[in-house]
Amino acid sequence: MPQWLHDGLRHVWQPYTQHQTAPLPAPVVAARESRIQLASGRWLIDGVASWWTAVHGHAHPHLTAAVHAQLDRLPHVMFGSVAHEPASTLACRLAQLLPGDLDHVFFAESGSVSVEVAMKMAVQYHLNQGERRTRFLGFHHGYHGDTLATMSVCDPDRSMHAHFAGFLPAQLHAALPTDSASLTALERLLEAHHTSLAGIMVEPLVQGAGGFRMHGPEALQHLRRLCDRYGLLLIFDEIATGFGRTGSMFACEQAGVVPDILTLSKALTGGVMPLSCAVARTPIFEAFQSQRADHALMHGPTFMANPLACAAANASLDLFETEPRLEQARALEAWFTEDLRGVETMPGVVEVRVKGAVAVIEVEALASQAELMRIGMAQGVWLRPFGGCIYATPPLVLSRAEAGQVAGAMRSMAEACDPARRL
């Protein structure tokens, strides 16, 4: 064990970790391309792209060079009453890439905060027009973050936030409208409650940590029509799905739907720096324009639009222009589909799902997370199953052989979840 790990164990509080029973955290000392290196010198394929972020792989020279150059010029400056070139350039490029009139970019530091900003935008949008609408509708298996407001729109029964049920704002939750019955139920719910609702929050095409469920574009088209009917804002949380993860630059493109507000983070900087944003359509932005100071959006994170992070994000967008990331994501979908064929018939497996560079094996019950992670590491792959799902969200630059190695580790983990082996 490295001395720094030994010393840190007394002071570092790890996320989602019961320290009394959890194994020691893996000591990572370097990362290159699709792999992370342990203190022992061993390299592992990063099967989750460090929580969906490292779409170009780790330490891509174009990204690191951009950050180094920016570090010498302007590492940070407050963004209140200040502008700087990296943020202006990034906002313009995002506006050009995003569909429709998603033209107004509000920067923040993390995915959760960008969702909080989107929710504040929606509430104040209605308030600025004389309507008090303060509630939201989220969906079963939805996940939008771990801060207060974001927890409230996550699935209340299947998320990691059950401890805080009495502390969270009360929201509405429903099944995604994927068939006529769920669509009818949603219409009835909105008919009864739309006057109190500011908006609807959804992860398009792929739901993340709430269960890794997938749905077709028709559900998003239904939501757009319902929001238009009832005067609600449609908010797409593309923190996990943005930047090629589903096979297109943004998941909403596959549905032909333009939300009123869209949030981005994770792969925004290519996994180099924390950065997020909430992007609003022009009519939403215009509702905040007034001679009244209290009509302005009252939010301002200290490190919003950090120049280093914006430089990394601009460099990441360069790579999407010069390297075949979307084609690579679609290739991963084909490879995972092929390599996981037959897993759905294994004992204890509920379903296998693949969309773009997201592969999921849902099981009836996971073996211990520590055991499954040991299985993956023994096969040279870093995966972190949880919530009944063995999932992979690797860098988009994975080779064919590496994709097969990840799928093989997932298959071995699924075998370890056979109910007969756990008796």
Q: Which residues are catalytic?
A: 16, 143, 237, 266
> 297: which residues sit within 8 A by CB, 6+ positions away?
106, 117, 120, 121, 124, 288
Spatial neighbors of 285 by CB under 8 A, at least 6 apart, are 103, 104
Backbone angles phi, psi at 7, to 5 degrees: -70, -40
Q: Tell me how crowded residue 40 is: count the other CB atoms within 10 A of its CB.
A: 10
On whether the CB atoms of residues 33 and 57 are closer than 8 A, the answer is yes
Q: Report the 10 Å Cβ neighbour count for 72.
A: 7
Q: Confirm if 352 and 389 have CB atoms less than 8 A apart.
A: no
The beta strand positions in 64-206, using DSSP E, are 102-108, 135-139, 172-174, 197-202
Q: What is the 3-state secondary structure (H, E, C) of 286-342?
A: HCCCCCCHHHCCCCCCCCCCCHHHHHHHHHHHHHHHHCCHHHHHHHHHHHHHHHCCC
**Residue 239: how many other CB atoms lie within 10 Å:** 25
Transcribe 358-381 into DSSP letters: EEEEEESS---HHHHHHHHHHTTE
How far apart, in Å, do the first and last CA atoms of the chain sit? 34
| For the chain, the helix, strand and coil percentages under 3-state DSSP, each to the nearest 5 | 40, 15, 40
Query: Cα–Cα distance between 396 and 332 in angstroms, integer?
Result: 7
- Pairing assessment for the beta strands 381-382 and 43-46 based on DSSP bridges: parallel
Distance CA 360, CA 407 (A): 10
State how beta strands 233-237 and 276-281 pair: unpaired
